[in-house]
Each structure stands twice: as structure tokens, then as C-alpha cells.
Amino acid sequence: MNLLNGANGDLWYLWVAFDITFVVLAVEIAITVNAGRKYRRRERLIQPRTRTSTLTERP
Amino acid sequence: MLRLTARIVHRELALTWRRRTSALGCLLFFVIAASLFPLAVGADPALLRAIAPGVLWVTALFAAMLSLTRLFGPDFADGALDQMLLSPQSLLAMVMAKIGAHWLTSGFALVLLAPFLALQYGLSFDAVCRLTLALLIGTPVLSLIGSVGAALTLGVRGGGMLLAVLVLPLETPVLIFGANAADASRTDGWSAANFSLLGAGLLAALALCPVATTAALRISAE
Amino acid sequence: MISTFAQAGWLRYASPKPFYRLAGRMIPGFAIAAILFVMPGIQIALFVAPTDAVQGDVYRIMFVHVPAAWMSMLLYVVMAAYAGLGLVLNARLSAMMARAIAPTGALFTALALITGALWGRPAWGAWWVWDARLTSELILLFLYLGFISLHGAIDDTRRADRACTVLALAGVVNIPVIYFSVQWWYTLHQGASLSFGSGVSMDTSMLAGILVMTLAFWCYAIAIVLVRVRRIIDEREF
């Protein structure tokens, strides 16, 4: 009887379930927070000089 | 309104007859796909009898899915759909007529073909009757639910695949009840219960789906 | 009711720009609340709640499985409500909220299915059974993925929003099916953990653990959806 397997040998499922849950949620946080980097507002105080036409693209 | 419906049905049938290759293609797919399963799982008669309702239902579902793109696709492409949207006639009536005509050339044709395919699976007469009746009640529901998906994915790239992805989850209850109803190895009470659920589904779909399809058409064709 | 909202100035948050700022202020609060709920939640789940007489300790998966499943259903209903609101009121922001909820809802559904399978293997001996509740939860996952796919496939954003509204509303009938499936069909999945009016059949600490974890997931969902909707506003509104 150890902490990893438990009495029936099935505690393993418990740890995997909890680990998967929190890893998936952490990955979701990481992806969502880092998404849309190109569109983020007011990231720089001074906008870089544009080399492309501002008619069709955001500076 | 009745004359409008009759005219639209006549129009749809005439147009389908002119482009009958695609309509026949879906039916041919049904026949070929249903023939593949006995080849794949082996010719054990008991096994074939057991899987027949499910397999025939799934292939009917796929065949119906393939035929859905021609429900609104050609009209969208050549501008007839815009005319329907602009006309003072009831769009709901036109949509119901189109779905009805489409069912006649796809789902109903599958129902007529099913007894012959059931021969390949060695089903008893009782089983064939149950299967045909289940398909008769179920295929209109497939057309109705599918019409909502067809209207939503009008002109979208990858439309056929996306249509299947959207519509198949919504149609799984029909599949489950239909296959259960067609299962001849169960009691009559079980079949009757599933037929009731199929019928209820048909009534609900008749009431709700054309409205949803009309709304989706207006959204898609703007 | 609308007029009292308007008088209090709340209606301005129906517009993306003010809502962007409001959401920015709400996110830290809900994130901290999520952490404050999840800590006692895990404590109850792993240590405080007693060992089950029949299943031993593996039943503790329930403390992530049940909240995830509840969130998957709740988020779909909220998504469909926002979508419907956006269609009826022709409001862009409501549609953006619906689009923001979809990925989180899909993830909770996937988590419910995965943790359920991990619980099912030791408890029932099978990773998966085709009973009514599992099947309809799987269909829920497909509905979420269909929503996201349809939105991505349509180039015009407004048309995509409205098309996904019809899809979301068409699928909302699945939620009562999931919830009541254990009553309507004889299934392997256990009956409702909590039901109104019948009293609760499990230990108080287990009930407390489920509720605390649900609150944790709920606050997390609100925070992450608000982050995502701010990203969507960035992308769509110049």
C-alpha cells in the first residue's frame, strides 16, 4: 500500500485525473493569455514607423 | 400557399431530374457502402443479421448527408435563392416545399432501396418491414435537421465536410431510435417505444426545423 | 428594468470599448477567487472527505469530474443565451461573448469525459460505455467543436456570429437530455449526485467539496472567458 497505487492499485487513476485537469487548465490559461499578440492595444507607447500601407493594415 | 408549394415541388423535381446524375450518385453511394460491410466483416449470417439495422441506418445517414449540399447549393450559386428571399411569397412555405421535394429524391428513394439491400444481409421479412418503416419515419427527420445545416453552411469553403460535422451530432438521436426500432431481435414493446420516439421526433422536426432553416437562409444569403 | 439599468449607467457596458475596461478590472478578482476556492477544494477532495466504503479512494476523481461536467452544461446554456441575445438585440458584444465561451466549454466537456473514463475504469471495469449520459456528453463536445468550426469557416464575422447562434440554439436541447438521461433510461452511470427535494445521499464533506470545486471552476471560467473576449475585441474592433 503506497501513496501512488493505493490499496487496490487504482489510486494511479486519481492522480492522473487530477494532473490532467490542472495541466489542461494551465495550458488553456497560457494559450489564451498569449493569444492575439498582434492585435494587443497600447503595448508600446511609441508606434513603430510603418513600412506598409496603412490603408490595408493596422500599423 | 398550396399552389406555391406544389409549384416549388414540381420545380425541384424537374431540376433534380435534369441533374439526375448527382441524385443517383447518392443512391449509388448508399448501395455501394452498404455492400462494403459484409465484405469487411465476413459472411457469417448471424453477424450480418445482427449488424444490419445499424449499418443500413448509418449508410442511409451518410447518403442523406451527401445529398444535402444540393438542397440549396445550386439555387445559391445561380441567384435563384436571392429571388426567393426577395419575393413576397412566404419563404417558410418555399423552404418546406424544397425540403419535401429533396426528401422525395433522397430519403424516400433510400427507403425504397432498403428492402433490396436487406436481402444482402439475409434479414427476415419482419425485420425488413421494421427497417423500412423506421427509415420511412426517420429519413424525413434527417432531411429536416440536415436542411438547417445546409442553410448555415451555404457557400462556405469546405462546406460538405463542415455540414457533416455540424449535422451528425444533432442527428444521432434519430440514428439511435431508428436503429433500435429496426432491430428485429427485440420485443415488440421495445420497437414500439422507439417508433413512438421517432414519430415524436418527426413531429418536432416538422414544427421547428423549417423555421430554423428559414432564419439560417436569411443569415447566409445576406 | 431596462430604464433602471440605463439610469445607473450599466447600458454603456453593452458596447465593446467600455466593456473592455470593465472586463480588465474583473479578471484579477475572479482569478484570485478561483485560486481561493481551489485550495480548500483540493484539500477537501484529497484529505478531508472520507474514504468511500465501496470504491476506496479513487472515487475522489468525482471532485474534478462532477464540477467539470456541470460547467460543460452550464457554459453551453450561457453560450446559447448570449448567442440568442446577440441575435435578438443585434448586439456585437453578446456574439463575441458566445464565441469566447465556446473553447472553455469544449475543454470542460473534454475534461469531464476524460476524468469520467479514468473513474470508470477502476469503478466499472470499462473505460467507456455507450450509455445515455456518456453519449450525450460526447455529443455536447461535438456541438462545441461544431460551433468553433462553423465560426472559423465563415469569413464574414457578422454572418459567422449569426450562423453560430442558430447552431447553438439548435443544440441546446441536448442539455436537458444529458441532465435527465439518468432518469429517463436505465444507465450504468450513477444517478444524480444532488437532486432537489430528495435530500442529499452523500457525506456532507463530499457535498462541500463538490460545491467548492464547482465554485472554483466557475470563477476560473469567468476569468478566462473575460480574457478571451478582450482578445476578441482587440481583434475585431480597431
pLDDT score at C198 = 43
Region class of A10: left (phi > 0), else alpha (psi between -120 and 50), else beta: alpha
A59 vs A39: CA distance, rounded Å: 10
B123 vs B117: CA distance, rounded Å: 9
Biggest CA-to-CA distance, chain A: 69
**So where are chain C's domains?**
26-189+207-236
Hey, are the CB atoms on A14 and C107 less than 8 Å from each other?
Answer: no
- Taking any CB pair shorter than 8 Å as contact, residues of chain B touching chain C are 148, 152-153, 156-159, 162, 165-166, 168-170, 172-173, 176, 212, 215-216, 219-220, 222
pLDDT score at A2 = 67
Residues in chain B: 222
Residue C191, min C-alpha distance to chain A (Å): 21
Q: pLDDT higher for C150 or C52?
A: C150
Least confident of B185-189, C31-35, C179-183, C221-225: C179-183
- Partners of chain A (3+ Cβ pairs below 8 A): C
> Residue C197 above 50 pLDDT?
no
Contacts of C231 in chain A (CB under 8 A): 32, 35-36, 39
B212, closest residue in chain C (CA to CA)? C166
How far CA B155 is from CA of B117, C86, C99, in Å, comes to 34, 23, 21
pLDDT in tens, C23-40: 999 999 999 999 999 999
Instruction: Please list the helix, strand and coil fractions of chain B in percent, rounded to the nearest 5, in that order.
Output: 85, 0, 15
DSSP-derived secondary structure for B118-166: HHHTT--HHHHHHHHHHHHHHHHHHHHHHHHHHHHTTT-TTHHHHHHHH
**C6-18: average pLDDT:** 79
Residue C141, min C-alpha distance to chain A (Å): 16
**C74-91: average pLDDT:** 94
Residue A38's Cα: distance from chain center in Å? 16
Contacts of C135 in chain B (CB under 8 A): 172, 176
* Residue B48 CB partners (closer than 8 Å, separation 6+): B38, B41, B120, B121, B122
C100 touches chain A (CB under 8 A): no
How far CA B11 is from CA of A5, B6, B23, in Å, comes to 69, 9, 15
pLDDT score at B190 = 85
Confidence category of residue C52, pLDDT binned at 50, 70, 90: confident
**Nearest one of C170, C15, C159 to C84, comparing CA atoms:** C170
Taking the alpha carbons of B135, B136, B138, B143 in that order, is the dihedral positive or negative?
positive
Out of C143, C150, C166, whose CB is closest to B162?
Answer: C150
Confidence category of residue A51, pLDDT binned at 50, 70, 90: low
> Residue C103 above 60 pLDDT?
yes
Question: What are the φ and ψ backbone dihedral angles of C229, each rounded to 5 degrees?
Answer: -70, -30
Residue C216, min C-alpha distance to chain A (Å): 12
Residues in chain C: 238
> Residue C124 above 90 pLDDT?
no
**Nearest one of B157, A27, B61, B107 to C150, comparing CA atoms:** B157
Hey, are the CB atoms on A25 and C64 less than 8 Å from each other?
Answer: no
The HSE-up count of residue C36 (CA atoms within 13 Å, CB side) is 7
The HSE-up count of residue B22 (CA atoms within 13 Å, CB side) is 16
Hey, are the CB atoms on C166 and B212 less than 8 Å from each other?
Answer: yes
Residue C64, min C-alpha distance to chain B (Å): 26
SS3 A3: coil
Instruction: State the residue for C-alpha cell 447566409.
Output: B220
Hey, are the CB atoms on B152 and C142 less than 8 Å from each other?
Answer: no
pLDDT tens, per residue, chain B with 222 residues: 889 999 999 999 999 999 888 899 999 999 999 999 999 998 899 999 999 999 999 999 999 999 999 999 999 999 999 999 999 989 999 999 999 999 999 999 999 999 999 988 889 999 999 999 999 999 999 999 999 999 999 988 888 899 999 999 999 989 999 999 998 888 888 889 999 999 999 999 999 999 999 999 999 987
Confidence category of residue A55, pLDDT binned at 50, 70, 90: low
Which of C234, C236, C238 to mutate against chain A (most A CBs within 10 Å)? C234
> Residue C151 above 50 pLDDT?
yes
B135, B199 Cβ separation under 8 angstroms:
no
The HSE-up count of residue B67 (CA atoms within 13 Å, CB side) is 35
Residue C140, min C-alpha distance to chain B (Å): 8
How many CB contacts within 8 angstroms connect chain A with chain C? 74
Out of C149, C162, C171, whose CB is closest to B170?
Answer: C171
B194 vs B198: CA distance, rounded Å: 6
Out of C42, C110, C119, whose CB is closest to A13?
Answer: C119
Hey, are the CB atoms on C170 and B168 less than 8 Å from each other?
Answer: no
State the cell numbers at C37: 476556492
Question: What are the φ and ψ backbone dihedral angles of C167, each rounded to 5 degrees?
Answer: -65, -45
Hey, are the CB atoms on C163 and B165 less than 8 Å from each other?
Answer: no
Hey, are the CB atoms on C170 and B157 less than 8 Å from each other?
Answer: no
Contacts of C171 in chain B (CB under 8 A): 169-170
Architecture of domain C26-189+207-236: Up-down Bundle (1.20)
Q: How much is the mean pLDDT over chain C?
A: 88
Confidence category of residue A42, pLDDT binned at 50, 70, 90: low
**So where are chain A's domains?**
1-43
C185 vs A48: CA distance, rounded Å: 63
B135 vs B122: CA distance, rounded Å: 18
Supply the ipTM of this predicted assembly. Answer: 0.88
Residue A19, min C-alpha distance to chain C (Å): 10
B104 vs B100: CA distance, rounded Å: 6
C192 touches chain A (CB under 8 A): no
B57, B173 Cβ separation under 8 angstroms:
no
SS3 C52: strand
